[in-house]
Structure 1
């Protein structure tokens, strides 16, 4: 039933486009029991498989054997989220190794911290509560989050090392909040315990385009919730979309992918 729906949807849209990218499951064997794994679906849709990998050659070679053993067609591979120390290894060692196994390598996407950074909106959706100011700045990306529990001077000294961070603290920590807004690169302020801050601080935050969330949780609970927030990319996150487009243009041989598919 589901397979037929997928085929019908594909047949419906393919007439309007020259090139279609079909997103598979995270693991190529997922849903194999139901005959809805990526290999089976690629055969039904007469498509080739492009493996997105973290650069582990053993995994790629095994997946190639599995694809070929099920009469599927492997297009090649792209590495994703490769950190800087590994980039030279990818170019000098891993790419030639793939050629030995007749696996075409189309390039890699380097690690980009902004791409894996949740937005202030995603923290708001996870924490609940209310936005006191800065609703129109909820698209700001947050690279890290920190609890403001120590003395103001000590906290500021540490927080100045970070950029685009979220501060989690009580609304009664006026001095700390004020200093962070004025003297550090803060992207989001999360006030815990439903303790309202002074109005002057909200005015400052609005001027600096910093969203302020008021949440009912105590600080440790809010911190734990923040740890589980995962970043996504949605149509309204223009900054991330531009980063992706730029990285693909610079690092992926996308024209070859188009031609080979």
Structure 2
């Protein structure tokens, strides 16, 4: 039985989609596959319990019959973290809990896919960082990373050092077209020269990034004030807390963004409507903007979303939607399966098929 732990240099790097896609690829090869996420970090209230959405999706897509408390033995919630800092969580007991759940789930499987929580260092408070989990479970490690600029290699090498000899390889995910050539021409050879194997470079796919304006409106329970098309994708947010002149300079440099600001800032609304990278306005506080703003938005084809909550609460919710909303469904996992098949060394990650191994 082999075990691979999927972790990342930072949050929102595609761990769930990659982990479940690898599991499906292994199942296609005739392997019996188990899944586990030792630290539940994506939390929601479900039947009175705090559960991570990722193991719930894994259980559904992989046809697992394990109990949630086995798939997610540690609920790494803000309350848990506070209690651990106060000394009310025993690290060795938690590690034994993780080990026991893993052994139960791994029984009669050919491959165990273990998903890291948050980023590489999450869990350090209770001695359950992803490298520590890998040691505990005797797992090889697939390290995911984004790549936008050369300095990103510094963070990657630091993570490689933390993982140590358990590193199976690095997978660059969601690489923009402009960064693809320098990554493959310069960075990959550099890393391999440092004995860091690169197992794949997955290109950025628009349908896997961000959420549509329409999805965002639905998740925020927002009222649409214009009849503009809501199919555009939003990948980032800009908080409007600046003067109009400063905002214009900043907004002209952004792309695929939503401006989140109070509905009582028509100066910012007007400026944002002149920035091609702004895909929608999210106006908070329940303040409806002047008719002139709505008319200009109609003319520019920019949707305006009106929400009742304050700006801080709205931006927190919106960022959570963007970071997670497009990566937790069967369609996304299937798309990632195709991408890994085409752009990654699947044999190195999940092994040869059962038939080939005979």
Same fold (TM over 0.5): yes
Change (3 A) 1:173 1:241: farther
Which shifted more, 212-221 or 116-125?
116-125
Q: In structure 2, list runs of 5 or more residues that go unmatched.
A: 1-23, 40-69, 74-95, 122-127, 176-203, 354-358
CA distance in 2, matches of 1:109, 1:176: 37
**1:79 offset after TM fit, Å?**
0.4
Please give the secondary structure, in 1, of the residue aligned with 2:260.
Answer: strand
Aligned match of 1:47? 110
Q: How does 1:48-197 map to 2 (within 5 A)?
A: 48-51=111-114, 62-68=132-138, 74=139, 76-81=140-145, 85-87=151-153, 94=160, 98=164, 101=165, 103=166, 105-110=168-173, 117=210, 120-121=213-214, 123-133=216-226, 137=230, 140-147=233-240, 149-197=241-289
Cα 1:245/1:17, change in 2 over 3 Å? closer
C-alpha deviation, 1:218, in angstroms: 3.8
- For normalisation by structure 1, the TM-score amounts to 0.62
Whole-angstrom CA distance in 2 between matches of 1:181 and 1:190:
12
Task: Say whether the 8 Å CA contact 2:35–2:105 is kept in structure 1.
Answer: no
1:214 positional shift? 0.9
Find the aligned partners of 1:94 and 1:151 in 2 and give their Cα distance: 43
Partners of 1:129 and 1:105 lie apart in 2 by 44
**Structure of greater Rg:** 1
Instruction: State the secondary structure of the residue aligned to 2:247.
Output: helix
* Contact 2:239–2:259 (8 Å) recurs in 1: yes
CA distance in 2, matches of 1:47, 1:37: 17
Contact kept in structure 2, 1:169 and 1:192, CA below 8 Å: yes
8 Å CA contact 1:109–1:247 kept in 2: the answer is no
Give 1:24's aligned residue.
36
Q: TM-score, normalised by structure 2?
A: 0.48
SS at match of 2:349: helix
**Match of residue 101 from structure 2:** 37
Deviation at 1:47, TM superposition (A): 2.7
Q: CA deviation at 1:167?
A: 1.1
Maintained 8 Å contact 1:168/1:192: yes
Greater relative contact order (Cα 8 A, min sep 6): structure 1 or 2?
2
Would you say how many aligned residue pairs link Structure 1 and Structure 2? 232
- SS of residue paired to 1:163: coil
Which blocks of at least 5 consecutive residues in structure 1 are unaligned? 1-12, 69-73
Contact map agreement 1:118 1:143 (CA 8 A) in 2: no
Show CA shifts across 1:10-61 (max 9, x none): xxx9xx95457644214499426498723421224x23234556667x9666
Structure 1 residue aligned with 2:50: none
Q: How far apart in 2 are the matches of 1:207 and 1:248?
A: 44
Distance 2:301 2:339 in 1: 26
RMSD (Å), alpha carbons: 4.6
2: CA distance, partners of 1:247 / 1:143:
25
C-alpha deviation, 1:186, in angstroms: 0.4
Instruction: Report the secondary structure of 1:37's partner residue.
Output: helix
Change over 3 Å in CA distance of 1:52–1:169 after alignment to 2: closer
Q: Report how far residue 253 of structure 1 moved.
A: 1.4
